[in-house]
Amino acid sequence: MLRRLAETTPIITRRGFAAAAASLVPVAACPVPAVSRAVGALAGLDTIARHKGLFFGTAVDQVLLHDDAALMTHVAAECGMVVGEASFKWAELRPTRSEFDFTEAERLMTFADHNRLRVRGHTLVWHEGNPEWLVEKLTPRNAERLLVRHIHEVVGHFRGRLVHWDVVNEPLQPDDGRADALRDTLWLRALGPRYLDIAFHACAEADPGALRVLNDFGMDYALPWQERRRGAMLALVSDLLARDVPIQAVGLQAHLDAVEPLPEPGVLSRFVDDISSLGLRVFITEMDVRDDGLPADTAIRDAAVAEHARAFLDAVLASRGVRGILTWGLSDRRSWLNEKFPRKDGLPQRPLPLDVDLRRKPLWSAIAAALAAAPAR
Ligand code: XIL
C-alpha cells in the first residue's frame, strides 16, 4: 500500500523535508512562526487528502504556537486546516463577564493567514473549558442572554474568517439517564434542551458562512455504550433538523484506543452514511490513538497505533460522507492524553503522526495510506 502511494502521490523523504525546511525564509513581519509557500506546497498529509476531495488538519496548542517554531513549520507543511486546542474556548476568550480577549485566537489566525491554512473554531458551548465566573453566575434567568451575547460577539468577531464552528461540543451522555440522551450540563440545567437551538441559531445569525458543527466523542467502537451513543447522535441530529435548527455537520472526535476492538466492517461507514443521508457533513475532528494499554517497546506501540488508525480510517473513509480529518496535535511533543490517561510506566504516550523529533511515524504513513486509498469525494 505504501509503495502504491509513493507511485501515485509525491511524498517528500525525510531528507528532502529537512533540506526544504532548512531553506525556509521566515516571514519577517510576522509575529508568529510562518513558513514560505514552498514548504506548504510539499506533499504533506493535506496534499494527499486533497487528491481525494478531503482535507487534513490538526489542533494547535497555544504554548507551542509561541515557543515551537520547528513544530509549527511542520504544521504548515502537513495541514490545510488548524483548530485552536484551547484558544477559542470560553475560559480563554472570557476572562470576566464584561471582557472578550481574542489575543491567543488572533495569534492562531495570524499563523494560519501567513501559511494559508483554514481555521475552525472550537467551541461555543461545552460543559468544560469554562471560566469560573460563568459556572458560578449562570442562572435560568440570565443564561440565554449570556449565551447569545457570547456567540454573537465571538462568531461576529471572526465573521468570514473561520470555515467551521463547533457550535456545541459533547452534548450527549446517554448514561445521565435522560430519554433524549442529553448530558446533564450547566447549559442544560439553565435552559433545557433548547440551548442547542439557541446556540445554532445565534451562530447562523453572526456568521452565516461558517459551517455549523455538532461535535462529540465515543462513537468509534463496538462497545455497547458506544453503540448507544451512535444511536443517540442520529436521534439528536434528526430531532434538531426536524425543528429547523440550522446544524450542518457532525464532528466525530475519534479519540481512539489502540487496544479496543473496532466494530464489524460496515458499522462505521453505515453510521456516517446515515448522518449524511440527513444532509449533514461529517468530519473526524480530534483523532489520536491512546497507547497506555500497550507495552513500553516503541516499535510495538507505533506499529499497533498505526494499524489501529488505518483500520479506523479505512472504515470511516469508505463513506463519502467524511469530508476531512484533523488530529488532536501533530507531534508527540505534546498530547492531552499524557494528562488524561498517563501510562502506568510513566513513559509519554505516542498518539500522534510525528515523533518528538518531528519525524514521521508509522501513524503518519497509516494516515497517508488511508487517505490515498480512500474513494474520492
Ligand atoms: C482538551 C485539551 O486538549 C486540553 O489541553 C485541555 O486541558 C482540555 O481540553 N475533547 C475536546 C477537546 O473536545 O476540547 C479536549 O481538549 C479534548 C477532548
Integer angstrom CA distances of residue 372 from 54, 272, 352: 10, 19, 19
pLDDT of 181 reads 98
Tell me, in angstroms, the distance from the centre of ligand 1 to residue 324's CA: 19
User: Which residue CA neighbors atom 16 of ligand 1 most closely?
Assistant: 85
pLDDT of 265 reads 85
pLDDT of 43 reads 87
Considering only CA atoms, which of 53, 45, 52, 51 is closest in space to residue 82?
Answer: 45
pLDDT lower than 50: segments of the chain: 1-41
User: Which residue CA neighbors atom 7 of ligand 1 most closely?
Assistant: 336
pLDDT of 23 reads 35
pLDDT tens for residues 87-127? 999 999 999 999 999 999 999 999 999 999 999 999 999 99
Distance CA 178, CA 181 (A): 5
Cell numbers linked to 346? 510513566
In a 13 Å sphere around the CA of 278, the CA atoms on its Cβ side amount to 25
pLDDT of 13 reads 34
Fill in the DSSP letter of residue 122. Answer: E
pLDDT of 4 reads 32
User: Which residue CA neighbors atom 15 of ligand 1 most closely?
Assistant: 85
